[in-house]
Every structure is written in C-alpha cells, then in structure tokens.
C-alpha cells in the first residue's frame, strides 16, 4: 500500500489542515488550507495529488459534507471514529500533528471508520437533536421555577406540572419588586418551552419516525414521559 497519496485532514469550520504522505519518499508534509470544509476548493486540491488519493478525517461537528463531496469526485474518503483513533504519544497537540497522525494511521490500515449516514438519516438525527434540545430547555425552565419557589419555602405536594399545579402557581404572590419580576420570568418560560417541545414532538411523529429507525429512540416514550394537558400553550398574565 505504498502507492498513491495518503491524506489526513484536521477539519474545522473555517479551515482545513492537511497532512500528506509523499508516495515516493514516505515523508509527511502538512498544508494549511484556508477553505471551508466540504467545499469544492478542498476537493479540487485533493484532485491535484498523485492518484489514487485516500483521505481520512475524524467525525465531528462539521458533519459528512466533505465525505460526500469526495465520494462524488471519486475520491476514497474515510470518516474515522474519534474514540477509536490511537492516541498520540507526544504531549504536544496541534492541528498539523493531528492531520499527519491520521495520514500515517490511514496508510497503516489502523483507522476504524464510521458509516456515513444517508441524507434522510442525517435529517432524522437532526430532528431527534431538536427534540432533545427542546426537552432539555423545558426541564431547565421547570427546574428554575421550582427551585426559586423552594428557596422561599414554597413546595407543591401533589403531582407537578398539571392543571391544578398551574392554579397553585398563579396563586403565589411576591411583594418584592425584583423577586416578582424573577417569578414572572420563570413562570413565563415554562409554558413557552413546553409549547416548543410539543411542536417538535408533533413534527417528529408526523415524519413517521419509529424506534430502531436510523438508531433513533422511540418518540412515543419521550412524549409520554413529558405528557401534559394541551392547555399549557402560553404565558398567562398574573397580578403580583
């Protein structure tokens, strides 16, 4: 496997650092490419290297655009699982060294690839992330409100986040100006966050996603665990 070009890429949002193994001498050279990841300029540069060209970069926040662009250009591109990449022996970590190390591991056949999802699978994963983000926002809003009340000795003894609980919340009164403002802000956030969460869950179910599809969790379990009456859709004005 000594022929061709072996390229390791350290991919960032605004730049790519490449480590290239020279096919004749075996030397590794690094090149900073100031072009967006997955752009035509990156692929065009890869096409200037002696063929066949084998490319590797680690899976990360930049996604799979670069891998798909390489595939369309006929370039062999591997997306490495970061957790399975052999750690560097030196303590100094730079983009250049990371790119060069990936190139060496690729040439040695020591890269564990991840499967590149289809566009439909990636879109489904984004929807799952949106659902979980909305769920997290809802939980944080509820925690802020409940902990604010707890600090002032107010604890609801029955099942929380129900119609009856909301009646109890609206009965709370704070005479202090700043505290009243904080309570209004915390109370207003919870129904707003629930409205967003419910909207995302409906879109999730409307897309026909199911448990086991593209490694996605069941939408029903997540929705049921946060089920609430449909009346909680917006902030209500309260006299404080």
Q: Residue 22 and residue 53: Cα distance in Å, rounded? A: 11
- As for how many domains the chain has, the answer is 2
Last residue of a domain, one of 108, 133, 148: 108
In this predicted structure, what is the pLDDT of residue 209? Answer: 58
Last residue of a domain, one of 108, 136, 166: 108
Q: Which domain holds residue 14?
A: 5-108
Q: Residue 71 and residue 229: Cα distance in Å, rounded? A: 48
Same domain, 98 and 134: no
Same domain, 94 and 152: no
User: What is the pTM for the complete model shown?
Assistant: 0.69
Would you say residue 115 lies in a domain?
no
Residue 34's pLDDT band (boundaries 50, 70, 90)? low
Same domain, 94 and 180: no
* Average pLDDT taken over every residue of the chain: 80
Residue 225 has pLDDT above 60, yes or no: no
Would you say residue 236 lies in a domain?
no
Same domain, 63 and 143: no
3-state secondary structure of 135: helix
8-state DSSP, 116: P
Q: List the 16-21 sheet strands across, edge first.
A: 28-33, 16-21, 5-11, 53-58, 76-80
In this predicted structure, what is the pLDDT of residue 165? Answer: 94
Last residue of a domain, one of 78, 108, 138: 108
In this predicted structure, what is the pLDDT of residue 28? Answer: 76
Tell me if 152 sits within 8 A of 186, measured CB to CB: no
């Amino acid at each position: 496997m000594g022929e061709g070009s072996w390229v390791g890429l350290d991919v960032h949002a605004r730049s790519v650092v490449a480590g290239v193994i020279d096919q004749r001498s075996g030397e590794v050279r690094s090149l900073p490419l100031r072009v967006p990841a997955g752009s035509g300029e990156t692929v065009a540069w890869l096409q200037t290297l002696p063929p066949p060209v084998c490319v590797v970069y680690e899976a990360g926040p930049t996604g799979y655009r670069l891998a798909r662009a390489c595939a369309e250009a006929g370039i062999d591109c591997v997306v490495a699982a970061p957790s399975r990449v052999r750690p560097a022996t030196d303590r100094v970590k730079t983009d250049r060294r990371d790119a060069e190390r990936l190139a060496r591991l690729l040439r040695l056949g020591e890269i564990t690839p991840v499967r590149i999802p289809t566009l439909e699978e990636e879109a489904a994963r984004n929807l799952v992330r949106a659902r979980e983000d909305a769920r997290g926002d809802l939980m944080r809003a509820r925690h802020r409100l409940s902990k604010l009340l707890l600090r002032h000795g107010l604890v609801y003894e029955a099942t929380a986040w129900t119609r009856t609980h909301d009646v109890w919340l609206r009965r709370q009164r704070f005479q202090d100006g700043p505290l009243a403002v904080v309570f209004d802000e915390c109370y207003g956030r919870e129904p707003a966050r629930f409205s967003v969460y419910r909207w995302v869950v409906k879109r999730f179910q409307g897309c026909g996603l199911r448990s086991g599809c593209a490694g996605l969790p069941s939408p029903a379990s997540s929705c049921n665990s946060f089920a609430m009456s449909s009346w909680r859709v917006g902030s209500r004005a309260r006299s404080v």
